[in-house]
Amino acid sequence: MNQRDLHPTPPGGKYVLPFAFTASTRAYYRLWLVNMVLTIVTLGIYSAWAKVHTQKYLLGHTTLDGGRFDYHGKPIAILKGRLIMLLALAAWTFSESLPLLHAAIALLAVAAAPWLGVLALRFRLANTSWNQMRFHFSGSSADSYKAFAKSWALLILSLGLAWPWATQVKQRFITGHSALGQARLQLQPCSGALYRAALGTALAAVCYLLGTGIIGGLIWQTATLSGFAHGIAVRFGEAALTQLDIVFFGMTSALWVMATLGYARMAISRVLINHTTLQLATLEARLVWSLPTRQMLGLHFSNALALLLSLGLAWPWIRIRTLRLQLQSLSLLSSSDLSALPLRTSLNRLDDARGDELAELMALDLGW
Amino acid sequence: MVTIKALWRDGKTPQAQAANVGRIDDELLLLRDGRQYRYPLADIRLEAGVADLPDTLQLPDGGTLEVADRIAIRRLIGGLSWGDRSGHWLQQSWRALAGLALLASVVLWLGYRHLLPLAAGALAPLVPVPVEQALADSTLQWLDRSGATGPSRLGEARRARLQQQLQALLPDSRYRYRLLLRDATVIGPNAFALPGGTIIVTDQLLALIRRDDELLAILAHEAGHVEARHGLRSALQSSGLLLALSLITGDASSALLVLPVSLANADYSRAHEREADRFAYARLRAHGLSPCLLGYSLQRIEAATHPQATTDDNTPGSWFASHPDTAERSQPDGLRCPPRPD
């Protein structure tokens, strides 16, 4: 795999180091099935192992310049995190009838978010490697609180209008404290591009609304004209038909929201990734993600449609094809090859998944 | 000594170097650059390759060995951890996967049918009665503010009488029942229970059912919900279900779970209705009243709300319906009732 030829000196002194994704849909389907079955049989305990296997499989089939990525998180650490997450969720559910306690828990969650974010990133990066070199996150909790406070203040004071700027503040903290070996990652200023991405998302939302509206309307019309709806009303009663309509409408709207959010996430990460650089002494590299918007729209819309029509069973296929398309168009434009990135610390082992799990639960937008 | 081909990396630079590994007693032997390195086996961690990926050995000095021949290296090191082994076994054999899938569906069914309701039933009584009452008060306020219900325009005398009769029907209840009347044209003739002993009856229901004993049967059914704490239990069951489903499907989006969760909630709701029905039958019997009264009043409600509905007795209930059908509920414990007096 890594018996690379020396790169010939490229024109303009820049190397284009490509990313590649070699996972197969078949193998991933099987992994997904095995994970699901074992998680059920073990009443959820296996889900930690499932996560490790999935991460190892997907990262292991992602390569940069022929070198494999890998995941090293330990299942027990993840399991501990999940248990704590479960307790937090139970406290949240149980306090629903006690508004004061409920509010206190929400406040605590918001207050802990920057700290949990740091824990999550530390665990995730320390357990991710490229060519067996570990990534490393060096951000401190204090810095995290500063960055988050600034980001939230910007958001609130501008009534959400400064959202791209706030995102940039937060992401600069995250990217700027990430490292591979001694090479530091940096996020270059990009609020203008983020504003354009937000506009594009608004446009995509309208397109998706038309699309889901037309398809949903067609299905609804077909059901009405073919007498299917009438049949249900006669057999099970009007109430059943109304409920079916509500569920159908709910699922269609959920799909619309999902597709729009998916687009937003992708448009934003495209900007962030394209402004991410890697620096070490004389080495200067920058990530280039050249996925055309048209292709992105098509991908998301077909994904949403496949999910709807397969009742969710197409999920593994969607995951693989999305990753493949995303990674195929990603590359690292570098002033030299990466053969001499020395590692910062000899061992960055961190076996605490609590941050990771709690951050996932609260859908903390941590990027990366 | 047998040696296995491997790729060695120092963990500090990305370059890989061809190497050979072997084993002598409790030590791993690494041959590279024409030199020998020894590591105690106890300090080495084997990370199994998932699916078609190679295995990785983590060496104590931070170096790693990538081994494509997984069978040979696992034999050399002495096996995988339990979790890895089970995953790999299933990854190899379709038959094992099919068998386990069958077991999984049994576990899923048992968990859904028995375990989750049991757990919710065990947790719900932990919530003290005053908390339940506070919960009911906030729901009531919300209802009145939303405009769905307005102040009642009907008889206070009948309300007080019914409340007294209901409390008499339930002599050893831990709740003090509170009967409230509300005008609700949108909701129509209906009664619903809030946690902590509050029962709301709409003016429309009061006007529709003139006989007190039939209305009492409805109230006994609602009291069944209160006594069994169905409100809390459904909340617990549906959040437990959502949690379990998102754990099982792993990274799949939760929007996909709308359909299964709403189907399951409707199913749990029908089970609660049946439980409340049985409670009502028993309380009515204990006070020398006919359990048929509940069916009579339900028939009246149905006739008023669905005048065109067929009275076909064997239509199966919908999967989405929150209540069992009235024909089933008009036969307490399979009993055939005499025709309704008009």
Please check whether residues A120 and A39 belong to one and the same domain: yes
Dist. CA B315–CA A317, nearest whole Å? 40
Nearest CA-CA distance, residue B323 and chain A, Å: 11
Dist. CA A116–CA A109, nearest whole Å? 9
Please check whether residues A336 and A347 belong to one and the same domain: no
pLDDT 10s digits, A256-308: 887 788 788 888 888 999 999 988 877 889 999 988 888 888 888 788 788 87
**Token pair 């219900």 is at which residue?**
B149
Strand arrangement, sheet containing B45-47:
B35-40, B27-32, B17-24, B4-9, B64-67, B55-58, B45-47
Domain annotation covers residue A166: no
CB contact under 8 A, A236 and B317: yes
Q: Domain residues of chain B, as ranges?
A: 4-88, 92-124, 129-334
β-sheet bridge partners, residue B331? none
Chain mean pLDDT for chain A? 82
B330: Cβ contacts below 8 Å, ≥ 6 apart: B292, B294, B295, B296, B298, B299, B337
Chain A (170-229) residues lying within 8 Å, Cβ to Cβ, of chain B: 181
Please check whether residues A76 and A94 belong to one and the same domain: yes
Please check whether residues A87 and A102 belong to one and the same domain: yes
Tokens representing A141 are 């909790």
pLDDT 10s digits, A26-53: 999 999 888 888 888 888 888 888 888 9
Average pLDDT over residues A230-252: 76
pLDDT 10s digits, A150-206: 999 998 998 888 888 888 899 999 999 998 877 889 999 988 899 998 898 888 889
CA distances from residue B145 to B111, B149, B304 in whole angstroms, order as listed: 39, 8, 27
Chain B residues lying within 8 Å of A315, measured CB to CB: 249, 252, 256
Domain annotation covers residue A47: yes
How many domains does the structure of chain A reveal? 2
> In terms of Cα–Cα distance, which of A278, A270, A277 is closest to A200?
A270
Q: What is the pTM of this model?
A: 0.79
Q: Give yes or no for A136 touching B (CB within 8 A).
A: no
Please check whether residues A366 and A323 belong to one and the same domain: no
Phi, then psi, of A153 in degrees rounded to 5: -60, -45
Name the DSSP letter for residue A22: -
**Token pair 């995102």 is at which residue?**
A167
Nearest to A49 among B83, B101, B317 (CB): B83
Q: What number of C-beta contacts closer than 8 Å exist between A and B?
A: 188
Nearest CA-CA distance, residue A80 and chain B, Å: 15
Please check whether residues A192 and A332 belong to one and the same domain: yes
What one-letter code names the amino acid at A197?
Answer: A
Dist. CA B280–CA B269, nearest whole Å? 16
pLDDT at B320: 62
Dist. CA A78–CA B83, nearest whole Å? 14
Per-residue pLDDT band for A74 (boundaries 50, 70, 90) equals: confident
Domain annotation covers residue A117: yes
- Torsion on CA atoms B275, B281, B285, B287, rounded to nearest 10: 80
Check pLDDT > 50 for residue A348: no
Beta-strand pair A133-137/A178-180? antiparallel
Nearest CA-CA distance, residue A157 and chain B, Å: 31
CB contact under 8 A, A35 and B250: yes
Please check whether residues A253 and A316 belong to one and the same domain: yes
Residue A334 in 3-state DSSP?
strand
Nearest CA-CA distance, residue B140 and chain A, Å: 14
Chain A residues lying within 8 Å of B247, measured CB to CB: 39, 44, 47
A234: Cβ contacts below 8 Å, ≥ 6 apart: none
Please check whether residues A192 and A255 belong to one and the same domain: yes
Q: Compute how many other C-beta atoms are within 10 angstroms of the C-beta atom of residue A17.
A: 17
Nearest to B100 among A37, A70, A133 (CB): A37
Dist. CA A299–CA A319, nearest whole Å? 11
Q: Which domain holds residue A54?
A: 24-139+177-181+341-368
Nearest CA-CA distance, residue A34 and chain B, Å: 7
Closest residue in A to B54 (Cα–Cα): A60
Hey, what CATH class is B4-88 in? Answer: mainly beta
Please check whether residues A202 and A297 belong to one and the same domain: yes
CB contact under 8 A, A237 and B315: yes
CB contact under 8 A, A315 and B236: no
β-sheet bridge partners, residue A69? A130
Chain A residues lying within 8 Å of B249, measured CB to CB: 36, 312, 315
**ipTM surpasses cut 0.90:** no
Dist. CA B114–CA B271, nearest whole Å? 12
Chain B residues lying within 8 Å of A57, measured CB to CB: 50-51, 53
pLDDT at B314: 40
